[in-house]
Amino acid sequence: MGGAFTDHLTWRWCFYINLPFGAVTAAFIVPFFQVPRRGKKLDLTWKQQIKKFDLEGTILFLPAIVCLLLALQWGGSKYEWNNGRIIALLVLFGVLIIGFIVVQKWKQEEATVPPRVFLNRNVWGSAWFGSFLGAAFFVMVYYLPIWFQAIKGVSATKSGIMNLPAILGLVIISMVAGGLVTFIGYYTPFMLTSSTFMAIGAGLLSTFETDTNSPKWIGYQFIFGAGVGFGMQQPLVAVQTALPGKDVPIGTAIMMFAQTLGGALFISVGQNVFTNQLIKNLKSVVPDLDAGFVLTVGATELKNRIPTQFLQGVLVAYNQALTETFYVSVAAASISIVGAAFVQWKSMKGKNIQMAAA
């Protein structure tokens, strides 16, 4: 749908369409959804409730992440890595994140991330796994449609359709993995399997050439999507199994945040790799063509706006840049297994696995 909106209306409709769906969903959830609670409800005034929020930690953490994202996106592309702006952003990130850690240790139970919860090996191991799973998945989902648009010359709508094998692999294997975890009782093997399949699938996708045929891009995508499907839900199951009931909401929030943060950070890394490699490849393959012009043309317009005598060289340069960007996904998928290796083999049988409110 996003591709269709982009082709026929405007990309802004990819966001506008969420408003009516969100409104209808809220109309049902707000009056009817009963939130399950663990523990006794605290009777606090609004001032006391505000004090319960970790404002100091939030004020330090959010700017730290913004600094890191900007440094990763600008470094080596808009500015050299030794540029004062990039150095300042990285130094500021380091100072702010150290301050955040100090605040978490100081506030203990009232911290955004209570140290006793995060230092549980099942929590930090699952967070590590989830963040790199998110990184591998989001980088591939972001750049694979660009490969279809640039190399195969298809529209945004069709590139979304051609991306379906990865999504189907994710959905089908997620359901299969959920049933198997319930039957077997152990989730850690599926995290290890996830890392393996993701790395293999992403590695196969990084072998794409300008003439790669459909059986390959369909099969390779399904393998990668299956890898993501094996592991997508396991961090949530792990924290709900390993933590006491009162800590489950915190653990769940950490897992969701880690997965989202991993995706956001590594999309910036992928953008940096893609831009730098494309400029480098263009200078090598088609030195007579302005690299800046190719960057501004965009993937969908390459075959319409690039002069015929340069087109094949541009496609080769584009393909190399994108497959080198896929290496980011390969690396993230491979590193994710480190976190999975530290997660204990705990059985979820007999556990009441459900989401709980804080």
Is this model's pTM higher than 0.85 or not? no
Residue 340: what pLDDT? 92
The domain locations on the chain are: 54-112, 118-358
pLDDT digits (tens, 9 = 90+) for 174-195: 999 988 988 888 889 999 999 9
Residue 358: what pLDDT? 37
Residue 94's pLDDT band, with cuts at 50, 70 and 90, is very high
Mean per-residue pLDDT for 198-205?
Answer: 95
Residue 228: what pLDDT? 94
Instruction: Report the range of poorest mean pLDDT among 49-53, 115-119, 175-179.
Output: 49-53
Spatial contact of 242 and 346, defined as CB atoms under 8 Å apart: yes
List, as one string, the DSSP characters of 196-247: HHHHHHHHHHTT--TT--HHHHHHHHHHHHHHHHHHTTHHHHHHHHHS-GGG
Residue 173: what pLDDT? 94
User: What's the rounded Cα separation, in Å, for the pair 205 and 211?
Assistant: 13
User: What's the rounded Cα separation, in Å, for the pair 342 and 122?
Assistant: 7
User: What's the rounded Cα separation, in Å, for the pair 138 and 316?
Assistant: 24
pLDDT digits (tens, 9 = 90+) for 264-306: 889 988 988 998 898 888 888 888 777 777 777 777 777 777 7
Percent of the chain with pLDDT over 70: 87
Residue 297: what pLDDT? 77
Spatial contact of 61 and 112, defined as CB atoms under 8 Å apart: yes
CA distances from 146 to 55, 245, 267 (A): 40, 44, 13
Spatial contact of 181 and 187, defined as CB atoms under 8 Å apart: yes
Q: Return the higher-pLDDT residue of 200 and 17.
A: 200
The one-letter amino acid code at 8 reads H
Q: Please name the residue that has the structure tokens 């199951």.
A: 237
List, as one string, the DSSP characters of 24-38: HHHHHHHHHPPPPB-
Average per-residue pLDDT for the chain: 84
Q: Return the higher-pLDDT residue of 54 and 130.
A: 130
CATH superfamily of the 118-358 domain: MFS general substrate transporter like domains (1.20.1250.20)
User: What's the rounded Cα separation, in Å, for the pair 114 and 246?
Assistant: 12
Residue 355: what pLDDT? 42
Residue 50: what pLDDT? 67
Mean per-residue pLDDT for 319-335?
Answer: 94
Exposed/middle/buried for residue 342 (C-beta within 10 Å: 0-12, 13-18, 19+): middle
Residue 75's pLDDT band, with cuts at 50, 70 and 90, is confident
pLDDT digits (tens, 9 = 90+) for 14-39: 667 778 877 888 787 777 766 555 55
pLDDT value at 126 more than 80? yes
Residue 98's pLDDT band, with cuts at 50, 70 and 90, is very high
